[in-house]
Structure 1
Amino acid sequence: MTVNRRPTGKHHGDLRNALEQAALALVAERGPHGFTLAEACRRAGVSVSAPYKHFADRDALLASLALKGYEEQQRRYRAATATSTDPAEQLAAYAAAYVRFAAQERALFDITFLAGLDKGRHEELARAGAALHDQLLPVARAVVPDREAALDLLIRISAAAHGLSLFLQQNMLPRGRDTLAAVEDQAARTAYALIDQQTQTSGRRRAGPGRQR
């Protein structure tokens, strides 16, 4: 997912997009904390006063990009879960798509999850995160109908995929397991393992306290 770029390099007719494009490039180079709003202006080729027509400060600019990150995730996860009607396969596909998003859209991933944006101030980000949750929780409940158990399952699958994404980014994986394809596969296999574990645990709970654990 990329922000549209004006081919002429003249940004005044599309100032918001020009600033977002510049910020994405700077985040890709330096991380979400490594640049100022003035640097984004210089990269976009506009005056330092220009962004205030659209963004109150640097965090507002990053929040706009984080929202695009959430929207791109929602699109990708919807496409991933649409590849099967089996809920376990859907969750495994979601885990693989999570890793793929983090690798292919690293700047957006870093902005969305590592910029430290205040969701109390930027409530649209909280709503976007809730929309992702609302999209995926029914899939988890098709595996384990109990809402709390399903939520626990979804959180654990997401946490595993997130951790694997960071391991890949930071070159923390053994040789042979450090490719995007290998990490996608690892995320999917981890999802299946967590699903098996959760369904077995839920089955024991439904059987009552008299069943051996």
Structure 2
Amino acid sequence: MAVKRRPTGTHHGDLRNALEQAALALVGERGPHGFTLAEACRRAGVSVSAPYKHFADREALLASLALQGYQEQRRRYRIALAAHADPVEQLAAFATAYVRFAAEERALFDITFLAGIDKSRHPELARAGSGLHEDLMPVTGRLAPDQDSAFELLVQVAAAAHGLALFQQQDMLPGTWNSRDRVEAQAARTARALAARHTRGRERTGRRSAP
């Protein structure tokens, strides 16, 4: 529903949220590079000077939404991890949740990963992104023979899930293979296969070190 424009200078009760929702809608329609701050103002029904009370520029507005994207992802991933005790199934659930988030929250996903936000200007995004490392390293550490291998497994699973999410979004998989259910299942299978490979590496390391 369109928001009625308020007269210039009139207080907007929730200006920050109105601008964020307007930007999110525009990203959903045009992608993270397809709108201006002035367009977000018009969509929110506020004057073009209004954003500067909360956001220094367009990138700052997108950075605020990207932070929300990271927070929502982490919330979902923690729920996925908590649903399983076995670390292999935890990684499979994480990969599934990754693909699902990309499909269900397309605009937030695009802002978080495709907007080209300069993280040196927005260090809060780098800190938020490190949450994935903090949540998954204890899981991959139960499977891999050492910390370097655990980090490698984390990167491989996350990269595979990210790539599959993009494939599904961009219709790069043929026919029914591009359905969300099948892509989620593929992400889970890939995570299990990667975990199995690292588990075998841990077992080999254990045999070599045994007396």
Common topology (TM > 0.5): yes
Q: Quick one: distance in 2 between partners of 1:164 and 1:32?
A: 20
Which one-letter code corresponds to 1:188 in the other structure? A
Instruction: Check the 8 A contact 1:149/1:202 in 2, yes or no.
Output: no
Q: Quick one: distance in 1 between partners of 2:58 and 2:173?
A: 34
Task: Name the CA shift for 1:9/1:77 in 2 (closer, same or farther; >3 Å).
Answer: farther
Match of 2:53 in 1: 53
Which one-letter code corresponds to 2:135 in the other structure? Q
The 5 A counterparts of 1:39-118 are 39-118=39-118
What are structure 2's unaligned runs of at least 5 residues?
none
CA displacement at 1:8 relative to structure 2: 8.6
Q: Residue 131 in 1 paired to residue 135 in 2?
A: no
Question: CA offsets, 1:92-114, max 9 Å, x none?
Answer: 00000000000000000000000
Which one-letter code corresponds to 2:28 in the other structure? A
Instruction: Check the 8 A contact 2:99/2:165 in 1, yes or no.
Output: yes
Which one-letter code corresponds to 1:63 in the other structure? A
CA displacement at 1:208 relative to structure 2: 4.2
Instruction: Check the 8 A contact 1:81/1:90 in 2, yes or no.
Output: yes
Question: CA offsets, 1:164-194, max 9 Å, x none?
Answer: 0000000011212111111110000000000
Which one-letter code corresponds to 1:52 in the other structure? Y
Instruction: Check the 8 A contact 2:153/2:194 in 1, yes or no.
Output: yes
Which secondary structure does the structure 1 equivalent of 2:46 belong to?
coil
Which one-letter code corresponds to 1:90 in the other structure? Q
The 5 A counterparts of 1:1-213 are 12-208=12-208
Instruction: Check the 8 A contact 2:42/2:48 in 1, yes or no.
Output: yes
What are structure 1's unaligned runs of at least 5 residues?
none
Question: CA offsets, 1:50-71, max 9 Å, x none?
Answer: 0000000000000000000000
Aligned residues: 205
CA displacement at 1:205 relative to structure 2: 4.0
Identity rate of aligned residues, in percent? 67
CA displacement at 1:149 relative to structure 2: 0.7
Normalised to the residue count of structure 1, the TM-score between the two structures is 0.91
Which secondary structure does the structure 1 equivalent of 2:116 belong to?
coil
Q: Quick one: distance in 2 between partners of 1:23 and 1:128?
A: 21
Normalised to the residue count of structure 2, the TM-score between the two structures is 0.92
Instruction: Check the 8 A contact 2:4/2:45 in 1, yes or no.
Output: no
Which secondary structure does the structure 2 equivalent of 1:188 belong to?
helix
Q: Quick one: distance in 2 between partners of 1:7 and 1:34?
A: 21
Which secondary structure does the structure 1 equivalent of 2:69 belong to?
helix
CA displacement at 1:198 relative to structure 2: 1.4
Which one-letter code corresponds to 2:95 in the other structure? A
CA displacement at 1:135 relative to structure 2: 1.2
